[in-house]
A = this chain, B = another copy of it.
Amino acid sequence: QCSVHKPPEQGPQWRRRPGAGGARFPSWSLTTQATDGVIRGDSGPGAAAEEEVRRLCQGFMAPPVSGPQELWRRRRDMRGRMELLIMETQAEVCRALAALDRGAAFAVNTWERKEGGGGISCVLQDGHIFEKAGVNVSVVFGNLSAEAVQQMKSRKTLKDKDGKLPFCAMGVSSVIHPKNPHVPTVHFNYRYFEIEEADGTKQWWFGGGTDLTPTYLNKEDAVHFHKTLKEACDKHDPKLYPKYKKWCDDYFYIKHRGERRGIGGIFFDDLDSPSKEEVFQFVQSCAKAIVPCYIPIVKKHCHDPFTPEEKLWQQLRRGRYVEFNLVYDRGTKFGLATPGSRIESILMSLPLTARWEYMHTPPENSREAEILEVLRNPKDWVH
């Protein structure tokens, strides 16, 4: 069982008191084989380690859910390493978005789950560039309900004990809806699961992905987005990108519309080979690719002029986004079915506004028809 660090106050206040950090953060350090310099190798529980911890935590949006002491205890464990990666990813993305949006402030809310665990929600609403941008971290554990297990059907059958399965799930997830219809919406999610079966067997797996949902097609942007993700994958295995690109197109499919939600990216689930270490390294590469694959596209288009008709088309596409998330998305369904989930964090993915018009059909050869064609027949963007 993980334990929960209860932050003495809500996130935003915490950040305003950097001096108080020292007292609450004991000596701890992190062990990881990552080589990118962000999360360094074991440096022992000495003064240097304490310094490193302070440096890391001061960059986070709020204290980690498990608390610094528990994380120190788990520093060689995947749970500790993954929690650090998701905290770092949350901070990195929030910093990049806030800097773009003329320093707009994120509302930071930490929350606890009665049944075990908690999370940190960072939301920027009605900014200059972003209509609604949410970046959530959650670390939850306890027993899986039958309903929640149902949502994990793609997993092999799990042997439960009196209908219960002890689990731990953690991840970072985000949806960023910009105001300008020429700036696409992005979604990413990287997560780690552990489930203990009745016979004591521990199942673990990673899942995740990053995908883009433009209102209008910009081929150059599509190529940049997919190429950046492909490079992150190729460092580990050239077979990964094609496989996860297709999985993404298949997953984000709005069956009743015959359309994908967007122009895809990568998506994977149930990843438990070749080894825990190698999968973690791959997930870390994907997480590091989020800012470079998306932020340049925002910078390029956030001041593009647009017409009321273009804004209307964006609103109709937002309606499709809502349809996918509420009808099909496994993460949303899992969240809504998990007792004690924080609904505001789960539904943060919904846009600020959306629209449904009866029998709306864009004219042939229009830019609206152009993107629909790609959503109906996904393209290869990197060859």
Q: Which residues of A contact B (CB under 8 A)?
A: 107, 109, 123, 125, 132, 134, 255-257, 315, 319, 322-323, 326-327, 336, 341, 343-344, 346-348, 350-359
Contact = CB atoms under 8 A, between A and B. Distances in A.
B326 A336 contact: no
A132 B322 CA distance: 18
Quickly give the copy total for this chain. Answer: 2
B109 A256 contact: no
A123 to B, nearest CB: 5
Contacts of A352: 355-357
Contacts of A343: 256-257
Interface of A is mostly: mixed
A205 B51 CA distance: 71
B326 A344 contact: no
17 contacts: A107-B359, A134-B358, A256-B336, A256-B341, A256-B343, A256-B346, A257-B343, A322-B322, A322-B326, A323-B326, A326-B327, A344-B359, A350-B356, A352-B355, A353-B354, A353-B356, A354-B354
A146 to B, nearest CB: 14
A107 B322 CA distance: 26
Nearest to A347: B356
A109 B319 CA distance: 22
Given A319-B350, A327-B326, A353-B315, A358 B132 contact: yes
Most chain B CB atoms below 10 A, which of A341, A351, A353: A353
